[in-house]
Structure 1
Amino acid sequence: MLQPNELVKTTTLSELSTLELAQALMERLSISPNDWHRLKSNRKVRANEQVAAALVFLLKDQPEEALPRLQQAVGWLDRSISAPPCPTHGQKSGE
Structure 2
Amino acid sequence: MISPATRDLAQFSDLDLAQALLQRMAIAPNDWHRLKANRKARALEQASTALVYLLKDQPEEALARLQQAAGWLDRSISAPPCPTHGR
> Is the aligned partner of 1:81 residue 2:77?
yes
1:15 pairs, out of 11, 14, 24, with: 11
- Within the candidate set 22, 42, 57, 1:46 is matched to 42
The TM-score normalised by the length of structure 2 is 0.93
1:36 aligns with 2:23: no
4+ runs deviating over 2 angstroms? 9-12
Structure 1 gap segments, 5+ residues each: none
Cα deviation code 1:45-90 (max 9, x no counterpart): 0000000000000011100111110110010000010000010011
RMSD over equivalenced CA pairs, Å: 1.5
TM-score of the superposed pair, with normalisation by structure 1: 0.85
Q: Which residue of 2 aligns with 1:66?
A: 62
